[in-house]
Amino acid sequence: MWLEILLAWVLGFAVYYWFTTRDKEETLPLEDGWWGPGARPSAAEDQSIRPFKVETSDDEINDLHQRIDRFRWTPPLEGSRFHYGFNSSYLKKVLSYWRNDFDWRKQVELLNQYPHFKTTIEGLDIHFIHVKPPHVPTGCSPKPLLMVHGWPGSFYEFYKIIPLLTDPKSHGLSEEHIFEVICPSIPGYGFSQASSKKGLNSVATARIFYKLMLRLGFRKFYIQGGDWGSLICTNMAQLVPSHVKGLHLNMALVLRNFQMLTLLLGRRLGGLLGYTERDMELLLPAKEKIFYSLVRESGYMHIQATKPDTVGCALNDSPVGLAAYILEKFSTWTDSSFRDLEDGGLERKFTLDELLTNIMLYWTTGSIVSSQRFYKENMGQGLMVHKHERMKVFVPTGFAAFPSELMHIPEKWMRSKYPQLLSYSYMAGGGHFAAFEEPRLLAQDIRKFVAMVERQ
């Protein structure tokens, strides 16, 4: 009896939900902003694009080493593995490598293998890399693709996927679709200047990146993102849909109370509600795979969405604390089962050189505080309070569902926000940091999606 009552209630709510949320092709107002220090100058903004180079110094490296040497160690609880956070016994190994074997100068050379630039937009110096194909077949035009990172990542996450997109033939892929890749740093991350004013959120960032693409001469382009990048790219599609040829995501924020309620009906009625067997494998039991998982992995989010500067002061002063705080995410966000391992499984998917290079982009730029403020700007007023959160997206969309992402998003949920979903793929493996962890899988899915858009 109770099951029938619950089902009737859910179906009744579904009818109401359908009538009240029917497709409305809205766009966000483009507006404008100024995020630099002081008042906006009366003179026109310098729109030049300036070459930039990553650099380091002996003083920078010596200071890092001295701080690592002064680390005060706290022993972990017996058998705690990664259940209490970053295991401090394994941290000793990471620090030994960082202090004695990690070659930052060599990694700086690696970072500079792609062309870096800066340009001033809305009062901020915006950093980006711009990688063009080494050769383009006759009769083929490279497709501009903007790729946006998240937290605690950086533009460096895309270094392994870029050659698969710009030079596919050299990596055993078809030359049918070749890309010109632009990877900017979110304002306040890495080499992009941080805002001096409150309010720089994902919509403002989307507008800044749209202006960047126009400044580079691109009127229509593809966009791709995960984590914050997925929201920024979604906002770009909501701001300027006529300029976005296609939107590809490997994470999406589409959770609704009604959708969560349908999961309470479990496997028994999941098929009738539009869920596949694979969806149910990744979502059920909901208590463990959604509720407990989100509580376990979202403590940092509450801190950063409320008082980011407090913890930021500690992290900006201690490279060891910064590394533990960030690298823990590269453990359990890559695979939640890694919390059962003494080393957090970090070196199963990444090298220490790769992980520490990303850490150094936060450490050497002193950008951890400003990167965390992005949570406050986007979530500090609450959830579902911004217009874009209630709007749908009306551009061709592709989605790559990686099985170890923090939360699985079924195709059914995706279509509720992205009605023009052309491609939905259950990926063979991988987690939150898709481009960094599974570059080939992600590149293949991007290429598949773009091929579908181009055929339309």
Active site residues: 227, 375, 432
- Altogether, the residues listed in the chain come to a count of 456
Q: What is the DSSP letter of 427?
A: -
CA distance to 34, 121, 122, 123, 277, per residue, from 45 (Å): 11, 8, 8, 8, 54
Residue pair 253/236 in contact by the 8 Å Cβ criterion = no
How many other CB atoms are there within 10 angstroms of residue 316's CB atom?
19
Bridge partners, residue 118, by sequence: 50, 127
Crossing angle of helices 352-363 and 368-379, rounded to 10°? 80
For residue 168, what is the DSSP state?
Answer: G
Neighbours of 389 (CB within 10 A): 14
Assess contact for 45 and 120: CB atoms under 8 A.
yes
Residue 167 tokens read as 């030079």
Q: How far apart (Å, rounded) are the C-alpha atoms in residues 289 and 406? A: 9
Cis peptide bond N-terminal to 152, omega within 30 = yes
CA distance 77 to 87: 9
CB 262 within 8 A of CB 10: yes
CA 257 – CA 253 distance, rounded (Å): 13
Closest CA to 158 of 170, 149, 168: 149
Q: What 3-state DSSP class applies to 15?
A: helix
Helix (H) or strand (E) run with residue 247 in it: strand 244-249
